[in-house]
Amino acid sequence: MEALDRIKEQVETHPVIIYMKGTPKLPQCGFSMRAAQALQSTGQEFAYVNILEDPEIMQALPQFADWPTFPQIYINGELIGGCDITVEMAGNGELTQMVEQAVSANQ
Q: Is 29 annotated as a binding residue?
A: yes
Cα separation of 1 and 36, whole Å? 27
Query: Given a cut of 90, is residue 1 above it in pLDDT?
Result: no
At residue 39's C-alpha, the angle toward residues 105 and 75, to 5°, is 40
Cα separation of 40 and 61, whole Å? 22
Cα separation of 101 and 58, whole Å? 28
Q: Would you state the pLDDT for residue 6?
A: 97
Domain coordinates in residue numbering, the chain: 3-97
pLDDT digits (tens, 9 = 90+) for 43-77: 999 999 999 999 999 999 999 999 999 999 999 99
Q: Would you state the pLDDT for residue 100?
A: 96
Backbone angles phi, psi at 29, to 5 degrees: -155, 155
Task: State the first-to-last Cα distance of the chain, in angstroms, to the nearest integer.
Answer: 27
CATH number among 1.10.10.10, 3.40.225.10, 3.40.30.10, 1.10.260.30, domain 3-97: 3.40.30.10
In the sheet with 47-50, reading across from the earlier edge strand, the strands are 47-50, 16-20, 72-75, 78-81
